[in-house]
Amino acid sequence: MEAIETRYRTHTCGQLRLSDQGKTISLAGWVHNYRDYGGMVFIDLRDRDGITQLVFTPEGVGADAINLARKLRSEWVISATGVVADRGVDDKGKSLENPKLATGKIEIRVKSFAVLSESPTPPFLPDDREQINEERRLQYRYIDLRRPTMQDTLRTRHRVTRIMRDYLGDLGFWEIETPFLTKSTPEGARDFIVPARLVPGSFYALPQSPQLFKQLLMVGGCDKYMQIVRCFRDEDPRADRQAEFTQLDVEMAFIDRENIISIIEGLLRRIWKEVLNVEIPNPIPHIEYDDAMKLYGSDRPDLRYGMKLHDVTDLAHTTDFGVFKNAPMVKAICVPGGAKLTRKETDALAEWAKGFGAKGLAVTKVAGGAFDTGIAKFVASIAPQLIERTGAKDGDLLCFAADRSKIVHKVLGELRLKMARDLQMTPTQEFAWTWVVNFPLFEWDEEEKRFNSTHHPFTAPLDEDLAKFDSTDRATIESIKSKAYDIVVNGSEIGGGSIRIHRMDVQQKLFALLGIDSESQKLKFGFLLDALHYGAPPHGGIALGLDRLVMILRGINNIRDVIAFPKTQSGADLMCGSPSVVDEKQLRETHIRVALPPAKPA
Amino acid sequence: MEAIETRYRTHTCGQLRLSDQGKTISLAGWVHNYRDYGGMVFIDLRDRDGITQLVFTPEGVGADAINLARKLRSEWVISATGVVADRGVDDKGKSLENPKLATGKIEIRVKSFAVLSESPTPPFLPDDREQINEERRLQYRYIDLRRPTMQDTLRTRHRVTRIMRDYLGDLGFWEIETPFLTKSTPEGARDFIVPARLVPGSFYALPQSPQLFKQLLMVGGCDKYMQIVRCFRDEDPRADRQAEFTQLDVEMAFIDRENIISIIEGLLRRIWKEVLNVEIPNPIPHIEYDDAMKLYGSDRPDLRYGMKLHDVTDLAHTTDFGVFKNAPMVKAICVPGGAKLTRKETDALAEWAKGFGAKGLAVTKVAGGAFDTGIAKFVASIAPQLIERTGAKDGDLLCFAADRSKIVHKVLGELRLKMARDLQMTPTQEFAWTWVVNFPLFEWDEEEKRFNSTHHPFTAPLDEDLAKFDSTDRATIESIKSKAYDIVVNGSEIGGGSIRIHRMDVQQKLFALLGIDSESQKLKFGFLLDALHYGAPPHGGIALGLDRLVMILRGINNIRDVIAFPKTQSGADLMCGSPSVVDEKQLRETHIRVALPPAKPA
């Protein structure tokens, strides 16, 4: 990137090359390193673009100024003017080039310079080699952001959003802003609420997503909408979540599932190509939700690893092993090389499995074409069939779960991921992509004894399942499939969407199936039903999580490392000190009072 | 714009031309008009791109389908397939072309069609010719948005933001997101506050602007930042304000005022060229704040009109007219053609002037090179000098204000605008641009007996005025000029910015001058002072109001017409019904209670 010329600089610290030799230039930036060789001072000057070596000599800057140069310290901000020179070779003819720097062949022989800001020794240096406590990094974020790694992440994030806007803009999508002060809808996650001063006792809510607004834009004839937009969920602390997060929000009219899938694939293909120079398969394969659960025990399967789930219920029922014989479902995964796990380690797995509601986990090792240790003796009778069905080889570990299908799938789905991690398996590919399709429209909530939407209550059913809406049979309702689709890479769901319901009568029936009576429908979603009443086009869309996308592109596991000013798990901004108490006047003006929970007894 | 092909359509309703004649195509959209000529049905089909005429005949669609076609009504949504045909000529050889439509030369001979959504008669038709009550438009925004005018505005808004991102992106600006859940700072406008569930009794505030975050990004080495970002101010209702508004936010390191001015001029030049094909003068002229006040009585002068303020204090003091003789300042404007105002109208002006704190407004008409009516006899002695100084001509009206300079400038500044409006003066140019520079850094608050910042407390003073910070003399402090700059077009301030203070000691002194003691500085701005301590580069930036920019580009006076889902003046969303009461549970979880103001006695 070329610098914009100002009185402080003519170039950036990442820009100059040997071909610039002899030019008089100016740079500005931070002192990254300083070395004082008794009168001759070397400074590595850093800006967003890179690092350039400055050389200060008494002959260059004058006898007085060299004394000032000797005082320069880490993170001082300076501007310097000088001549671009070849670093050349040392006394022994060895090149003085620094091959780690793009500017490593040159240095600047400084003629004059100015100190723009001094700095005391900072709490830590913005150096990627240092391991710094995260709380300190967040407290002094303005120093942390200077680290080249953080700069690379912000650059990537900017590039990704720019590609999104260019790509979708060229296809005729308009970026349209939707409100942040909106209406609280008690369904779904918890809202952040905002007291409305002008309407005492009333509140706005910050949007969990612009879902209804983007649908209304489609009803409003806007045809193709996109927005990179902040969303808010007041959820309980989780390491990989932030209360405010960013999504690419997309909606189109007059489309089917395949149209939006192909557009989003094109977008992801371009991002991966431009940012990583990596090709994404064309097309990305689809997997049905039912198959994903059956084969991988997850609706966001990590396809970088094999270890499919094998249904062995029929075989298990032929044994005398009580755990197997009486289980509604028995499935197995074959962990390649898993036989190296010790007895202690496999026992620990059984304990770990209980965390997912299982009674335990049965294992056995494969050796000499037969089973060894664990439940070997209980399943000896079906050993050849098990080995054939699972494709197990000597040195592998077979792991079995026997329970209701929900628990079997959960445990073995998690076990696949754990084994890949624990055994540091080599992934079959760097990025494994899949679309998950044909989700169930409803999930039965056993506690509340009612249906919930698998995605959200605006998701359309498959056309052929529409007739099932009139059924009163739970299994029939559960068998309704939706026009929802999730895009999954390496076991992370980075986006999800659906074709929406565009008919008022269908939407009303769906609300009714969720137990929302017509009075409540009118109160909460009256404007949506009205909109569907007055000429709604078929429409659908998707939302991609920007934070997670950047994490995957940059190979970063900490969500706070892809956000310029993140909050801690408990929602605190350690730099500004928010949240904080506010003036009594602010409370009075917004017609609220603080009502603290009663103190816990000592 | 080309359509993305789906099963609903191959083209948009604005796309087909005579050169497509004979092609079989599909369109989808809304029934804009229908005309049933006894079996032959004409439909104007509308989508975001335009309108295309569909022709249904029994021969084309079949005898059964023509009956369905006769049932189509306004705002039904259909998809139709047919052949592009020349509209040709009527019986008398007259062209059947509709010259108002881009597709006016062709029509579609429909072969088959499907009704995608019916609609009852909507509350109003999305037709620009109809005058519709604004409350109704906002309540049924999804119908209102279908109006071609609204679509044009959303398209323009999208284009403007795209140009902003392309232009700044190409210059090396990164779009970086700043937090929405941030810290309340009681200075400035009123914050929207958000109770923090996880920290009982604490609150976030929605940002009034990302000012401090963008400065911290500069301290963090991010060099060139931009963001198109929502901001929030909980202000009292005003017709031209929305509680949430959007700004283009820009910040750069290692720059001076002229650098940012030239970059923003380039951006505005590109927007005006691409959207309106209008050239902006290069460079845009600058006016000093003092001159703007002296000559136009405003810091955002509308330069489309003359009517400069003329200082006539010296002349006024030579008269025997008490109002003039004893006034600290007397200024005049000459209203061209203003002599046609009646006595009643000029008397009304004097009343109007009292609304701005003036005691009245003195006027006289120019006729035959002398004064007539009004205060003519009181100023007869200085008539020739007044006429010479103001350049008044026969038929003009001279208006005088005599008072303290603040009131004189306010009244005459407002009077210029009022006269231009009332007399429907022809502007000298469509867009009159100016940068206003060298603002005073402080304003004296007569009520509170202390200084306020004219812009915000992070604005840097001119270098030559830095020494005045140590003064205790009010006039000296008031004479400090800042490195702030506003961009003004046609009397609207569409943006403002400044070079910021990048030295901790200067920032501390400035806070002290505002009466913020060091304890409060630490509490409220400790993180900023820390950041300036640890190596801050010189930096500055600007924010442009997007809503107002689009209003000016589209010649729209109502801010709600440039926002997809605006709120009323009292902050209500008439479509969703927000703000609204929330569940008791939501209040309990966020540790607040509603405390309504006591009811007013009946």
Euclidean distance between CA atoms B253 and B249, whole angstroms: 14
Place of tokens 């056309």: A463
Decide if pLDDT at B2 tops 80. Answer: no
The CATH number of whichever domain residue B88 belongs to comes to 2.40.50.140
pLDDT of residue B389: 96
Hey, how many other C-beta atoms are within 10 angstroms of the C-beta on A538? 24
A189 touches chain B (CB under 8 A): no
Q: Could you tell me if residue B600 is inside a domain?
A: no
**Predicted complex ipTM:** 0.95
Q: Could you tell me if residue B509 is inside a domain?
A: yes
Nearest to A202 by CA among A186, A187, A183, A189: A183
Residue window 464-523, chain A: list those with CB within 8 Å of chain B: 502-503
Sign of the CA dihedral running A6, A12, A15, A17: positive
Q: Mutating which of A212, A533, A578 best tests the B interface, going by the most B Cβ atoms within 10 A? A: A578
The pLDDT-based confidence of A225 (bands split at 50, 70, 90) is very high
Backbone conformation region of residue B62, classed left if phi is above 0, alpha if psi is from -120 to 50, else beta: left
- Asked if residue A568 and residue A459 are part of one domain, the reply reads no
pLDDT digits (tens, 9 = 90+) for A105-137: 999 999 999 999 999 999 999 988 878 999 999
Residue A50, classed as helix, strand or coil, is strand
- Asked if residue B378 and residue B331 are part of one domain, the reply reads yes
Q: Could you tell me if residue B381 is inside a domain?
A: yes
Record the tokens describing residue A551, joined without a space: 């994490």
Contact B221 A571 (CB under 8 A): no
pLDDT digits (tens, 9 = 90+) for B498-523: 999 999 999 999 999 999 999 999 98
Decide if pLDDT at A589 tops 80. Answer: yes
Return the amino acid letter for B368: G
- Asked if residue A410 and residue A470 are part of one domain, the reply reads no
CB A360 within 8 A of CB A335: no
CB A576 within 8 A of CB A182: no
Question: Angle formed by the axes of helices B211-219 and B518-533, to 10°?
Answer: 40
Q: Which residues pair with B249 in a beta bridge?
A: B227, B543
Q: Could you tell me if residue B3 is inside a domain?
A: no
Query: Strands B433-437 and B484-489: what pairing?
Result: antiparallel
Contact A194 B206 (CB under 8 A): yes
Contact B203 A178 (CB under 8 A): no
Hey, how many other C-beta atoms are within 10 angstroms of the C-beta on B317? 14
Q: Could you tell me if residue A414 is inside a domain?
A: yes
Decide if pLDDT at A601 tops 70. Answer: no
pLDDT digits (tens, 9 = 90+) for A441-464: 999 998 889 999 999 999 999 999
CA distance B86 to chain A (A): 26
Please count the structural domains in chain B. Answer: 4
- Asked if residue A385 and residue A329 are part of one domain, the reply reads yes
The pLDDT-based confidence of A186 (bands split at 50, 70, 90) is low
pLDDT of residue B417: 97
A254 touches chain B (CB under 8 A): yes
Euclidean distance between CA atoms B585 and B252, whole angstroms: 46
Element holding A498 (H helix, E strand): strand A492-499
Element holding B506 (H helix, E strand): helix B504-513
- Asked if residue B178 and residue B96 are part of one domain, the reply reads no
The CATH number of whichever domain residue A363 belongs to comes to 3.30.1360.30
Task: Give the distance from CA B383 to its chain's centroid.
Answer: 42
CB A559 within 8 A of CB A551: yes
- Asked if residue B342 and residue B248 are part of one domain, the reply reads no
pLDDT of residue B360: 87
- Asked if residue B519 and residue B451 are part of one domain, the reply reads yes
Q: Could you tell me if residue A125 is inside a domain?
A: no
Hey, how many other C-beta atoms are within 10 angstroms of the C-beta on A532? 26
Mean per-residue pLDDT for B116-140? Answer: 93
Decide if pLDDT at B31 tops 60. Answer: yes
Contacts 24+ apart (CB under 8 A), B151-155: B151/A221, B151/A222, B151/B48, B152/B554, B153/B550, B153/B554, B153/B556, B153/B561, B153/B562, B154/A174, B154/A176, B154/A222, B154/B564, B155/A174
Question: Which domain, by its residues, includes A417?
Answer: 305-426
Contacts 24+ apart (CB under 8 A), A529-533: A529/A504, A530/B140, A531/A215, A531/A216, A531/A219, A531/B142, A532/A219, A532/A501, A532/A502, A532/A503, A532/A504, A532/A507, A532/B117, A533/A504, A533/B119, A533/B120
CB B350 within 8 A of CB B397: no
Say which of A171, A177, A570 has its CB closest to residue B246: A177
- Asked if residue B410 and residue B528 are part of one domain, the reply reads no
A130 touches chain B (CB under 8 A): no
- Asked if residue A463 and residue A358 are part of one domain, the reply reads no
pLDDT digits (tens, 9 = 90+) for A66-120: 999 999 999 999 999 999 999 999 989 999 999 999 999 999 999 999 999 999 9
Nearest to B207 by CA among B217, B218, B192, B221: B192
Residues 6+ away with beta carbon under 8 Å from A121 = A73, A74
Contact B175 A162 (CB under 8 A): yes
Q: Could you tell me if residue A554 is inside a domain?
A: yes
Which chain A residues are closer than 8 Å to B232 by Cβ?
A: 180-181
- Asked if residue A448 and residue A513 are part of one domain, the reply reads yes
Q: Could you tell me if residue A379 is inside a domain?
A: yes
B561 touches chain A (CB under 8 A): no
- Asked if residue A157 and residue A277 are part of one domain, the reply reads yes
Say which of B8, B144, B564 has its CB closest to residue A538: B8
The CATH number of whichever domain residue B238 belongs to comes to 3.30.930.10
Strands (E), B362-438: 362-367, 370-372, 397-403, 433-437
The pLDDT-based confidence of A526 (bands split at 50, 70, 90) is very high
Mean per-residue pLDDT for B397-422? Answer: 96
Residue A16, classed as helix, strand or coil, is coil
The pTM is what?
0.96
pLDDT of residue A293: 97
Euclidean distance between CA atoms A384 and A369, whole angstroms: 8
- Asked if residue A390 and residue A364 are part of one domain, the reply reads yes
Q: How does the average pLDDT of chain B come out, rounded? A: 95
Say which of A183, A244, A580 has its CB closest to residue B180: A244
